[in-house]
Structure 1
Amino acid sequence: MQVKALIENHGFKHLSGSDIDREISNVYSCDLLSWVMAKGKHDTAWITVQTHNNILAVASLLEFACIIIPEGIAVDQDILDKANEQGVVILSTQLETFEIFKILYEAGIQ
C-alpha cells in the first residue's frame, strides 16, 4: 500500500512531505521515542500522538514512509514547516490507533 492510498481511499489528511507514492511495508505504534528507534523499520507507517520536533528526527533517521497522527490531534505549523524541509510525510486522521491498524492490516501490512 502506498501512503497516498490512505489519503485518497481513507480520508487521511496530508499535512507535510511530498513522497506520498512511497510504499508502506509495516506499521508501528509507540510514543516512547527511544523504543521506536530500537524497534522501527524502514518504510514504516508510524502512529504516534507525539507532535514535537523529535518525531521528525526519528522518522528521518529510520526512513519511515510516514508519521500518522491519530484522533485529530493538532500539529503546530512550525513542526509541519520543518517536516516539509526534511521531506517527512505527516498524515492526520480522526481515527483511533486501532482503526488505523485495521485499515493497514486489511491492506496486507503487518
Structure 2
Amino acid sequence: MTVKELIDKNIFQLVNEGENLNQEITDPYCCDLLSVAMGKAPRGAVWVTVMANMNTLAVAALTDVACIILAEGVLPDEQTVNKAKEQGITVLAAGEPVFETSLQIYQLLNA
C-alpha cells in the first residue's frame, strides 16, 4: 500500500498531503519519545504518535517514515502544518488511541 492509497481510503483526516505519495508503506510504528523514534523508526513506516510539533517533523524527515498519523484527536498547530507543507511530509490525524490506530494500519497492510 502506498501513502496515496492510504489517504484515498478516507479512514484518517488529511492534515497535509506530502510529496511522497507513491512511497510504499512497510508497517506501523508507535512511539511518543522523539529520541527513540529517531533511532528506531523504520524507513517507510507509518509513524503513529500524539506528538504534534515541529520536532516530530524533523524526526520524520530524518527517518524517512512514509507518513505521520497523529492519534487521539491531536492536531498540529498552524506553524507545524506550514512546516509539513514546506518539507513535503504527509500528516494524517485519527480520533482513536495510538494502539487502535496502529492496529488499523497493520490490518490494512495484512488484509
After TM superposition, the score normalised by the length of structure 1 is 0.88
Q: Deviations over 1:11-57 (max 9, x none)?
A: 21111124333211121111111111111111111011111111111
Match of 2:12 in 1: 12
Identity of aligned residues (%): 39
Cα distance in structure 1, aligned partners of 2:50 and 2:8: 22
2:106 counterpart residue number: 105
Does residue 41 in structure 1 map to residue 46 in structure 2?
no
TM-score (norm 2): 0.87
The corresponding residue for 2:28 is 27
Aligned residues: 109
Equivalent position of 1:70 in the other structure = 71
Gaps of 5+ in 2: none
RMSD over aligned Cα atoms = 1.6
Q: Which structure 1 residue ranges, 4+ long, deviate > 6 Å from structure 2?
A: none
